[in-house]
Amino acid sequence: MDKVFEFLKNAGTWYLATVDENGDPQVRPFGAQNIFEGKLYIQTGLKKAVAKQMLAHPKVAISGMAGGKWLRLNAEAVLDERIEAQEAMLDANPMLKKMYAAGDGNTAVFYLKNATAQICSFTEAPEIINF
């Protein structure tokens, strides 16, 4: 999991895919991640469609590129409503504090479970990471 976290950090911008209410895939750029209590977290706003989609259909996919390699990750997104998890995410990603505050009723942090990540390149066999 730590390797996936570092990969996402190095990528800067990575892409999260969800499924909307019509079963259509939706992809958007993200760039905030954190490890809290041994779990990989991502963050968004509860008012956003992406949060509603993850709550209705928790299976997500993440993709990003860094250092000539790419990441493909499939996981289940689980909402963690604890203020401590929100604070940890905001402290790790201070740029989010311009838009979000722990306990504001909008900040949503999701941890990824049952995750399988592949770090791939054109020259090496994929590295598989499960967490």
CB neighbours of residue 11 within 10 Å: 21
| The predicted structure's pLDDT at residue 23 | 95
| The predicted structure's pLDDT at residue 47 | 97
| The predicted structure's pLDDT at residue 41 | 98
Q: Are 31 and 13 in contact (CB under 8 A)?
A: yes
Per-residue pLDDT of the chain (131 residues; tens, 9 = 90+): 999 999 999 999 999 999 999 999 999 999 999 999 999 999 999 999 999 999 999 999 999 999 999 999 999 999 999 999 999 999 999 999 999 999 999 999 999 999 999 999 999 999 999 99
| The predicted structure's pLDDT at residue 106 | 98
**Domains recognised in the chain with CATH numbers:** 2-130 (2.30.110.10)
Give this prediction's pTM. 0.96
- Rounded CA-CA distance 92/96 in Å is 9
Q: Are 31 and 14 in contact (CB under 8 A)?
A: yes
Which residues, 6 or more positions from 21, have their beta carbon under 8 angstroms from its beta carbon?
53, 56
| The predicted structure's pLDDT at residue 77 | 98
CB neighbours of residue 107 within 10 Å: 24
| The predicted structure's pLDDT at residue 28 | 98
Kindly give the pairing relationship between strand 39-45 and strand 127-130: unpaired
